[in-house]
Amino acid sequence: MIGIVIVSHSRRLAEGVRELALQMVKDHVPIAIAAGIDDPANPLGTDAMQVYEAIASVYSDDGVLVLMDLGSALMSAEMALEFLPSEQQQHIHLCAAPLVEGAIAAVVAAASSSDIQRVITEAQGALVAKATQLGLDESHLSLVISEEPMINDKGHTSQIRLTVSNRFGLHARPAAQFVSCAARFQSQIQVRNITKGSEFVRADSINQVAMLGVRQGDEIVITATGSDAEEALAALQTLITTNFGEDNTPPHLPIAPSPHLPIAPSP
């Protein structure tokens, strides 16, 4: 299993990022943090030994992805690699992805049994979805990672057409569930948002699914090509029609009492 390490100057920040990321995958991906320093008066900072210990705690030959916030976090991560045996260093990858978005994209990809290069691609492309939703083109991004093409899988293509009815559409957790479900199958699975007129995107990419901007009431089409296409579509349909296990009841809003209006005296 691929491990994730979050390096930050602030322990509270790192713990918050880990908490958010684990909401996506329910503890299925090992995530360690190396954040802050042991100085009550000045707790902000990074420590190379902490980073080394965090890497060691989640290490496997499948790879470890290290995400950093800024400045000395990168320096501490680079120094930490020197404490590792040379045969392990080649499995550690320092990633330029944005900390929050990158961590979420990375853990979703790792939970879907992607290899380390796919996890890196998802993490480093994490800002593309936000830029798309804000109407920016890729020239506004300092780093754009192109998605590798999907491998053509011979076989009949099946499709389903569904309306997404859960209250917040494909927001973070449902999108992560959708991607993880799609990644379980061998078939090539794609999805598009008919309501917004989008093109088809990979259903196993959290970044591409997020770009669809699926909201409650949007209609989507899912296609699958391959030996387990029908099984894949059935699983995704169940996920969507059961609202991703979420309570679809609108939150109760208390009704404010009407202000007391004095009754005018009779003439």
Is a pLDDT exceeding 60 seen at residue 251?
Answer: no
Q: Is 261 left (phi over 0), alpha (psi -120 to 50) or beta?
A: beta
How far is residue 264's CA from residue 267's CA, in Å, rounded to a whole number? 9
Q: pLDDT confidence of 247, banded at 50, 70, 90?
A: confident
Say yes or no: 121 and 16 in one domain. yes
Across 226-253, average pLDDT: 85
Decide which of 81, 112, 140 is a domain's last residue: 140
Say yes or no: 18 and 136 in one domain. yes
Across 177-200, average pLDDT: 93
Residue 211's nearest CA partner among 98, 110, 135 is 135
Q: What pLDDT, on a 0 to 100 scale, did the predictor assign at position 143? A: 43
Q: What pLDDT, on a 0 to 100 scale, did the predictor assign at position 171? A: 84
Say yes or no: 135 and 207 in one domain. no
CB atoms near residue 250 (< 10 Å): 7
Share above pLDDT 90 across residues of the chain, in percent, rounded to a whole number: 64
Residue 92 has phi, psi (to 5 degrees) of -105, 130
Residue 206's nearest CA partner among 119, 96, 93 is 119
Say yes or no: 14 and 65 in one domain. yes
Q: What pLDDT, on a 0 to 100 scale, did the predictor assign at position 142? A: 45
How far is residue 107's CA from residue 104's CA, in Å, rounded to a whole number? 5
Number of domains, the chain: 2
pLDDT tens sequence across 81-128: 999 999 999 999 999 999 999 999 999 999 988 899 999 999 998 888
The number of residues in the chain equals: 267
Say yes or no: 27 and 110 in one domain. yes
Say yes or no: 169 and 130 in one domain. no
Question: Would you say 51 and 66 are in contact if contact means Cβ atoms under 8 Å apart?
Answer: yes
Q: pLDDT confidence of 178, banded at 50, 70, 90?
A: very high
Say yes or no: 103 and 163 in one domain. no
Say yes or no: 72 and 123 in one domain. yes
Decide which of 140, 171, 202 is a domain's last residue: 140
Task: Answer whether residue 250 is part of any domain.
Answer: no
Task: Answer whether residue 220 is part of any domain.
Answer: yes
Task: Answer whether residue 168 is part of any domain.
Answer: yes
Say yes or no: 168 and 127 in one domain. no
Q: What pLDDT, on a 0 to 100 scale, did the predictor assign at position 257? A: 54
pTM score of the predicted model? 0.76
Q: Which residues are catalytic?
A: 9
User: Range of 23's domain?
Assistant: 3-140
Q: What pLDDT, on a 0 to 100 scale, did the predictor assign at position 146? A: 46
How far is residue 46's CA from residue 241's CA, in Å, rounded to a whole number? 46
